[in-house]
Structure 1
Amino acid sequence: MAELDENSGFGSKNVENCDPERCIQFLGVPKVANYEGIRTRLDTSTTEWMDVFLKKGGLTVLTENLAKFAERKLENQDAHLSLKCVDCIKVVLNKGIGMNYIVKEENGNLTENILLGLQSRDTATKIAVTEVLATITSYSDKLQGYKSVINALDRNENQEHRFSIIIDELKATESLPYKSALLMFVNSLICKIPSTSERRQRKEDFVKLGIPKIIDQLRDEYAALLIQVDVFEEFKVDDDGEGESSDEEDQN
């Protein structure tokens, strides 16, 4: 198989019948067009094709690249690459075989790599990564996904508490969509626990980290937002009414 260089592109002729090994090679050439093409190929893949892609390390390469892109100084190209990379990961996990693969205990490093995606300075990437983490957490009645995410959080050595990274992100961001995604992640970490006593303890963990204050601030922010929506609607109704009256006067 011919080696690829940084100028290699994933042309449309290569997509339709590209084999897993070739796709993995293209993952090593960080270009948005390549990742868009790979996403298409992943989306249309058979179970057999995806099985080979996983066994050859395709998902490992994707998650490692996400972590690398997130560490870089943010540029437009890096932001697009990060988001396209998460899109590819989502497609793989949407296939049952992909999700079953990532939650295996021996593949825990893959979830750790996805967690590192929260280091990205691109908000859209952070939202997408958080959605992936919440999806993994909620997967399987046997708590395989939940355990995979908890283990990844536990191995995050830069945090004082396993959930500090979530709270820190909630405090730092001004993006309401990102805050919403983070709270969805928090809820998945709580709701997935079958034991009532353990759920209470999990809630208490977040309470101690200061989540009540964050929730109160969110209520205020959404209240202010809804007030502006109501004002807009009131002006719209009033103006529409005045417009109809004006039209009737002009006709008379």
Structure 2
Amino acid sequence: MSIKKEGAHRKWAALKEKLGPQDTDQSEANLENAEPELCIRLLQMPSVVNYSGLKKRLESSDDAWMVQFLELCGLDLLLEALDRLSGRGVARISDALLQLTCINCVRAVMNSHRGIEYIVSNEGYVRKLFQALDTTNVMVKKQVFELLAALCIYSSDGHGLALDALDHYKNVKNQQYRFSVIMNELSNTDNVPYMVTLLSAINAIILGKEDLRTRTQIRNEFI
């Protein structure tokens, strides 16, 4: 066991040396063959370079790698970081970029079968994801609503979790309706791609239910 740990420490030291102290000369960390444990350690040093490298590694990972990453709380760390970044108000461009690259990693997790199944099977993750809406960063909010739509279409359980997250957000923000956040965003933006995403999310919420009567009830909530 000690030999294994020493090997991991050597790998980690070599990786840090490759990245350099400030990662100023690279746009992304080279994590092509990195084990989940090393990626978890990188998540404890948030940077655009680290998140960009992790996104690429997540996109190329197999099922076994993704499962291990999730079991090591990789998604938890990403969502916690996203929550902290959202609370900053994104006053600086560097923070906005960090926030965007972080949610890109969450998206990469959800784009995998193991990842989205893990999210649907564990209550609370979608609520945590929705906390990222507390930002002025339109690109981040756009991604959140795109992921919401994907959950609604993926399965009835995913649809239920999306509605639960909307209800929770309504209560936290003392809003009158569970869809207020969507309608408010739609009313307050002139960003056409963002509008399209919001309308797509509305369609996914409505069409995510097979029962026609339920669809009609949900649609009426938007009117």
Give SS of 2:61's match: coil
| 4+ runs deviating over 2 angstroms | 1-5, 7-14
Give SS of 2:124's match: helix
CA apart distance, 1:68? 1.7
2:152 pairs with 129, 137, 142, which one? 137
Matched, 1:186 2:199: no
**Partner Cα separation in structure 2 for residue 51 and residue 155 of structure 1:** 28
**Partner Cα separation in structure 2 for residue 41 and residue 124 of structure 1:** 22
Q: Could you say which residue in structure 1 is the equivalent of 2:141?
A: 126
CA apart distance, 1:8? 6.3
Contact 1:83 1:125 in 2 (8 A): yes
Contact 1:118 1:130 in 2 (8 A): no
Contact 1:69 1:82 in 2 (8 A): yes
Provide the aligned C-alpha RMSD in A.
2.2
Q: Could you say which residue in structure 2 is the equivalent of 1:175?
A: 191
Contact 2:123 2:161 in 1 (8 A): yes
**Partner Cα separation in structure 2 for residue 59 and residue 173 of structure 1:** 30
Alignment of 1:1-252 (within 5 A): 7=21, 9=23, 15-74=31-90, 75-104=92-121, 107-140=122-155, 143-156=156-169, 157=171, 158=173, 159-207=175-223
Deviation digits for residues 4-61 of structure 1 (CA, Å, limit 9, x no counterpart):
99x5659778512211122122112121001011111111111111000011111111
- Amino acid in the other structure paired with 1:125: V
CA apart distance, 1:160? 2.1
Task: Give the greater-gyration-radius structure (CA).
Answer: 1
Q: Could you say which residue in structure 2 is the equivalent of 1:210?
A: none
Identity %: 34
- Amino acid in the other structure paired with 1:131: E
Give SS of 1:15's match: coil
Contact 1:108 1:151 in 2 (8 A): no
Taking structure 1 as the reference length, the TM-score comes to: 0.74
Contact 1:39 1:87 in 2 (8 A): yes
Give SS of 1:108's match: coil
**Unpaired segments ≥5 residues, structure 1:** 208-252
Deviation digits for residues 133-172 of structure 1 (CA, Å, limit 9, x no counterpart):
11111112xx011011111111122122211111111112
Taking structure 2 as the reference length, the TM-score comes to: 0.83
Give SS of 1:150's match: helix
**Partner Cα separation in structure 2 for residue 54 and residue 163 of structure 1:** 30
**Partner Cα separation in structure 2 for residue 39 and residue 164 of structure 1:** 32
Q: How many equivalent residue pairs? A: 202
The 10-residue stretch of structure 1 (122-131 or 14-23) with the greater mean CA deviation from structure 2: 14-23
**Partner Cα separation in structure 1 for residue 96 and residue 168 of structure 2:** 26
Contact 1:8 1:29 in 2 (8 A): no
Contact 1:137 1:149 in 2 (8 A): yes
Give SS of 2:34's match: coil
**Unpaired segments ≥5 residues, structure 2:** 1-7
CA apart distance, 1:189? 0.4
**Partner Cα separation in structure 2 for residue 13 and residue 192 of structure 1:** 38
**Partner Cα separation in structure 2 for residue 125 and residue 153 of structure 1:** 17
Contact 2:79 2:128 in 1 (8 A): yes
